[in-house]
Amino acid sequence: MQTYFLDIWIVESGKGTMSNVGDEISAPNAGWNFGGNVPKTFDSHVRRSVPLYKEGHDLTCRISDYFMGQSSQLYDLGTSTGELLNQLAKRHQSPDQKFVGIDRENGMLELARKKCGDDSRIRLELAEMSELELEKSDMIVSYYTIQFIRPAFRQRVISQIYESLNWGGAFLLFEKVRGPDARFQDILTGIYNDYKLEQGFSSEEVIAKARSLKGVLEPFSTQGNYDLLERAGFKDYMTVMKYLCFEGILAIK
């Protein structure tokens, strides 16, 4: 059954009211997830939703040059459709290198398998981020993934990332971040909403997406993420990319 409410297109189902958040994706209030119909249009949706999304991929590839040796292993946590993992594998052509993509959604991994083709160096695994068992590696990438892990488990994940890295290895963390106080947060939210409208999302879709992410996307502040890294054992880290509430942090063990 289809109805309208407050000018937001919604679909009634057994799981509750679903709202259109753009790119043919529907999500319930406080119930966003990456399954269902999300994988099909995820790449286009996230490129319109996250400023400098492509540029962050390019930066990740360039940074990887400093850490990927001839027999290095790299993890991409929350690999989604495998777009970034595929770019990294194409950039580094040593036959002894290994690239591992981990995601919790089968639908995402199905698309990743198609995208990554028959590169035998790439391994894709279905797993929850809070239950990771990582082998030793020289680089771990988390591209807007940790923010979706419940805060109660977040430190455990970051600590395991630190322990699994070889000495001198890198953890590249991209996250949406909160402002340091309410005034800055208001500025960030306002400008980001303007950005999404300029990308072609309707005001109804922007509101519906924000409603769907309640309790699901829980970003920390920049300092909060720095604190996670420090408690895990990282001493050397810096912000390498920043646009409003979107930030990339490079940490080296």
Hey, where are the domains in the chain?
53-178+217-252
- Express each pLDDT in 119-138 by its tens digit: 999 999 999 888 888 999 99
**E strands of 80-226, at which residues?**
98-103, 122-126, 137-143, 165-176
Name the helix (H) or strand (E) containing 152: helix 151-164
3-state percent helix, strand, coil for the chain, nearest multiple of 5 = 40, 30, 30
- Express each pLDDT in 162-174 by its tens digit: 999 999 999 999 9
Reply yes or no on domain 53-178+217-252 having CATH 3.40.50.150: yes
- Count the Cβ atoms, other than its own, within 10 Å of residue 158: 25
Q: What is the CB-side half-sphere exposure of residue 134 using CA atoms within 13 A?
A: 30
- Express each pLDDT in 174-215 by its tens digit: 999 999 999 999 999 999 999 999 999 999 988 888 888 888
Q: Which residue has the higher pLDDT, 38 or 177?
A: 177
Per cent of the chain over pLDDT 90 is 73
Residue 223 pLDDT: 97
Q: What one-letter code names the amino acid at 221?
A: S
